[in-house]
Chain A
Amino acid sequence: MTERVVITGMGIVCPLGHDVETLWQAILAGKSGVAKTTIFDASTFPTTFDAEVKDYDLTKYTKNPQLHKHSNRGSGFAIGAAAQACRQAKIDIETNEPADGINRSRMGVYLGAGEGSVDNDVFFEAIVKGWNSENNKMDWEKWAEVAFGKMTPMRELEQEPNMPAAHIAMLTGARGPSRSCLTACAASTQAVGEATMMIRRGDVDVVIAGGAHSMIHPLGLTGFNRLTALSTRNDSPETASRPFSASRDGFILGEGAAIVILESLESAKKRKVEILAEVIGYGSSSDAFRVTDMHEEGRGAIQSISRALADAGISYRNVDYINTHGTSTMENDSIETKAIKAVFKEKAKNIPASSVKSMLGHLIGAAGAAELITCVLAIRDNIVPPTMNLNDPDPQLDLDYVPSKPRKMQVDIAMNESFGFGGQNNVVIIKRWKG
């Protein structure tokens, strides 16, 4: 007997707000979380803007901020998002005697989480001191002198990508399976999918799942700028993210954390917590094509969508809303459109398929879970979020991207698509819970 899996809590810290309702109101109002970079001086970079989490105060979410004081940006956001999600799902945090009816050894954590930033000042200073430009060699002894003198052990440990999940375990006391994956832009959709499978198998009753990431640091921006993956529309940051438009020129680097509480239906019923939606399908695939490009025909994307539909046991005709990966890059938006057409056939143009990245930016590892939360809200309120900044449609791209304004309509089944750099693709399908 397979356990059914439901969502009983949600939490978010993202460029459009530090809680789920603020995010949702911002999205329905078509607001943008994109602005000039403030975390560091990016004024001379090819891209001078991003989507940042601003004015975040960790102490609002934990009574033990000392414990998390070394956490990197991603971990800090993860703690806030997890605390919110646990509150909604009536899960006790920061206690040795939880009274929420969940056995801690049957509570897991699964994040799609990114690495922390290097300790920038010391990182660069050590290279400057160690590098000998005359012979193009590094004097490691000089390098090590700076590194030993100025790097701190905890700051270094906190760069490991398993740390956001570790902080959530400390916060909640979870002793069940704990995993962290980093499949680029698809990571947190994969985390939600695999966590769902853990509950279905009966390994655990609850998983705190989602993602956390910040690549808004000099080396992160450098890497994406060199790949020419980012928009360089520096004169108009708030309209730069324009998925599916003819003038799209790249994605917008964002950051944040998004957490959902996944729970077996039995546990949710026993604990009498509100059920927000049911997770009914998950599909994962690998492009096996190129690390630099998506498969031209969207083979991997098509496989992940088809596998998720098969796993859910539904037809493409049953899907009411597609939350696209929609990054605002030339390649993704056109191949994703092709893939949707291949799977959804005659219905492709009739299913609303929008991109909240037009407002939120691209949260990289955290993107999938953040977008899944908007799917839950779309079902809750029967409103499909819009794709903003779509003022000059690409003639090749002719799906219903829900331009400019949210749309009131019945949404019972929503599909969330995430496709990662390198060709790892993940899709999750959720359904209205009708009791």
Chain B
Amino acid sequence: MSSARIVITGLGAVSPLGLTVGDMWEGLCTGRCGIGKITAFDPAGFSCKLAGQVPDYKIQQYVPKSYRKAVKMMSRDIELAVMAANEALTNSGLVTKAIDPEKVNVEPERVAINMGAGLISCDLVELAPAVAASVTDGKFDLRKWGKEGLELVTPLWLLKYLPNMPACHIGIIHDIQGPSNSITCAEASAHLAIGEASQIIARGSSNIALAGGAEAKVNPIVMIRQCLLKRVTSENNDDPSSACRPFDADAKGSVFGEGAGIVILENLENAKKRDAKIYAEVIGVGQSNNINPAYEHLESDGKGIQIAIEKAMANAQIEPEDLDLIVPHGTGIAADDLAETTAIEAALGKAATKVAVWPTKSMLSNTGAAGGALDVIAAACAMANGKIPVAKNCERKAAGCNLNIVKQPLETNIHHALCCSYTYGGQTAAVVLKKLD
């Protein structure tokens, strides 16, 4: 098999902390919190009224003129993905058709895309007039829907909500003709997409790949799911910035949000040839499964996460002592954070209590399929800046947590960083990054 080394040469992030990687990193460094009261809809009837929302933007500014008509086919998940892709490509110095048709410096056939996506939920307000037109005696009438309601649904409605569409729109805008995939593994999606894209480059199927994830969870139906599953905090509604508390003794649940993160992966040779800035090398990817009969919870020993971390470390050929930073999944759900703690300790042994652990969701919220990519980008920024910011809202560690959660900002050379994630139901993933000298 090809032994190509894979490096990260571009970053793009749209998050509750801002529309760019710079905004996100500044926010993380200053302990700014991207979580606030939900404004996308009135959350009065919801147990959790908080979310991490992306600041206002105009999608037209991110789409070439020739493609502006297509924005009507974009759900918010797709918009966020398109924005992050623009930044990542621009940041990498790669020039696609959309960036400057005169100066294209990539071969479209040698560029791949691998996007993590969530279950894209439809806009209920958009659908409502059609539903309202299908009511008989106060009740929804499917026969009436088939005859009358359906006609009121916009013809291209379905295309807004297919999870492969973020990758397809980005592919069209930037003329990406290589392998294209959409990974739909909830909160593990982005790590799995980055892992698969790395393998696609390693096996020689492309030289460059856009990889990451996007998801807009600030939708009433997504939020009610999280409420029903009791994954959200229903306390702290009046104090958004202290609401999400990964690994903290007072953790009461997670807060969900929206975002998109994309990294440009490139084979090292290609990156060197064009003298690209290299943020980090992807040296290890590990994947496994949680298995728990009560799969609406994480298995309590975090076995699936442990195996993913062990595999990533073995793949990276480094020892636990070599790690300088861990960005855990850390959602603020006490039982899940404890299971993840157990997994990290089991996988890394004694080193687990020494390595700096920096959960980000207290500031970024839980952005679903985007989360893993935002974490990889945060780790890459930490590496590039030699700095680990404070883990916000972990003032008193939860019982059973012996991890070294970052309490004071650290100025340190980060040689190796580990990021991990998991889903309810199964999939787990871990990614190891290395700083290149």
Q: Which residues of A come within 8 Å of B, CB atoms?
A: 2, 40-46, 67, 105, 108-109, 113, 115, 118, 121, 123-125, 127-128, 130-131, 133, 136-145, 147-148, 151-154, 156-157, 159-163, 165-166, 169-170, 173-184, 190, 194, 197-198, 200-202, 218-219, 222-228, 284-292, 299-300, 303, 307, 420-424
B426 contacts which chain A residues (CB < 8 A)? 109, 162, 165-166, 169-170, 178
**Cβ-defined contact, A424 with B150, below 8 A:** no
**Cβ-defined contact, B225 with A291, below 8 A:** no
Complex CA gap A152/B228 in Å reads 7
A156 with B179: in contact, given A41-B142, A128-B131, A183-B164 (CB under 8 Å)? no
A285 with B153: in contact, given A40-B142, A179-B287 (CB under 8 Å)? no
A194 contacts which chain B residues (CB < 8 A)? 181, 196
**Cβ-defined contact, B1 with A424, below 8 A:** no
13 more CB-based (< 8 A) A-B contacts, given A44-B147, A284-B181: A41-B146, A43-B146, A44-B143, A127-B127, A151-B228, A159-B119, A163-B425, A170-B291, A197-B203, A284-B178, A287-B177, A292-B73, A299-B177
B178 contacts which chain A residues (CB < 8 A)? 284-286
**Cβ-defined contact, B124 with A127, below 8 A:** yes
Complex CA gap A15/B73 in Å reads 32
0/1 string, B287-301, CB within 8 A of A gives 1 = 111010101100000
For chain B residues 139-166, which have a beta carbon within 8 Å of chain A? 139-140, 142-147, 150, 153-159, 161-165
**Cβ-defined contact, A291 with B131, below 8 A:** no
A424 contacts which chain B residues (CB < 8 A)? 164, 167-168, 180-182
A423 CB, nearest partner CB in chain B, Å: 6
For chain B residues 222-243, which have a beta carbon within 8 Å of chain A? 224-225, 227-230
For chain B residues 256-294, which have a beta carbon within 8 Å of chain A? 287-289, 291, 293
Among B147, B287, B304, max chain A CB count under 10 A is at B287
A321 CB, nearest partner CB in chain B, Å: 24
**Cβ-defined contact, A290 with B157, below 8 A:** no
**Cβ-defined contact, B138 with A128, below 8 A:** yes
**Cβ-defined contact, A156 with B42, below 8 A:** no
Which of B14-22, B43-51, B52-60 touches A? B43-51
Tally A-B pairs: CB < 8 A. Answer: 298
B109: which of A123, A184, A190, A303 is its contact (CB, 8 Å)?
A303
B184 at interface by CB-CB < 8 Å: yes
B185 at interface by CB-CB < 8 Å: yes
**Cβ-defined contact, A284 with B180, below 8 A:** yes
B289: which of A44, A143, A175, A222 is its contact (CB, 8 Å)?
A175
A291 with B41: in contact, given A2-B1, A153-B230 (CB under 8 Å)? no
Complex CA gap A156/B224 in Å reads 9
A287 CB, nearest partner CB in chain B, Å: 8
B150 contacts which chain A residues (CB < 8 A)? 45-46, 222, 225-226
**Cβ-defined contact, B186 with A162, below 8 A:** yes
B108 contacts which chain A residues (CB < 8 A)? 288
B132 at interface by CB-CB < 8 Å: yes
B378 at interface by CB-CB < 8 Å: no
**Cβ-defined contact, B45 with A143, below 8 A:** yes
Q: Which residue of A lies closest to B155 (CB)?
A: A226
Complex CA gap A198/B192 in Å reads 13
B307 at interface by CB-CB < 8 Å: yes
**Cβ-defined contact, B45 with A144, below 8 A:** yes
B113 at interface by CB-CB < 8 Å: yes
B155: which of A143, A198, A227 is its contact (CB, 8 Å)?
A227
**Cβ-defined contact, A420 with B288, below 8 A:** no
**Cβ-defined contact, B296 with A157, below 8 A:** yes
Among A41, A179, A190, max chain B CB count under 10 A is at A179
Binding site of B, secondary structure by majority: helix, strand, loop or mixed?
A: mixed
B427 contacts which chain A residues (CB < 8 A)? 162, 165-166, 178-180
B320 at interface by CB-CB < 8 Å: no
A291 with B109: in contact, given A131-B131, A174-B289 (CB under 8 Å)? no
Complex CA gap A321/B113 in Å reads 30
B183 at interface by CB-CB < 8 Å: yes
**Cβ-defined contact, B229 with A182, below 8 A:** no
A224 contacts which chain B residues (CB < 8 A)? 158
B353 CB, nearest partner CB in chain A, Å: 25
Complex CA gap A153/B297 in Å reads 12
A105 with B288: in contact, given A166-B426, A290-B172, A291-B165 (CB under 8 Å)? yes
A39 CB, nearest partner CB in chain B, Å: 11
A416 CB, nearest partner CB in chain B, Å: 17
A227 with B156: in contact, given A141-B42, A160-B425, A286-B177 (CB under 8 Å)? yes
B423 at interface by CB-CB < 8 Å: yes
B169 at interface by CB-CB < 8 Å: yes
Among B159, B167, B181, B205, max chain A CB count under 10 A is at B181
A173 contacts which chain B residues (CB < 8 A)? 291
**Cβ-defined contact, A176 with B289, below 8 A:** yes
**Cβ-defined contact, B220 with A289, below 8 A:** no
B5 CB, nearest partner CB in chain A, Å: 15
Complex CA gap A159/B120 in Å reads 11
A148: which of B144, B182, B228, B296 is its contact (CB, 8 Å)?
B228
Complex CA gap A290/B159 in Å reads 11
Complex CA gap A281/B247 in Å reads 46
Complex CA gap A287/B293 in Å reads 41
**Cβ-defined contact, B154 with A226, below 8 A:** yes
**Cβ-defined contact, B139 with A125, below 8 A:** yes
A227: which of B159, B169, B177, B221 is its contact (CB, 8 Å)?
B159
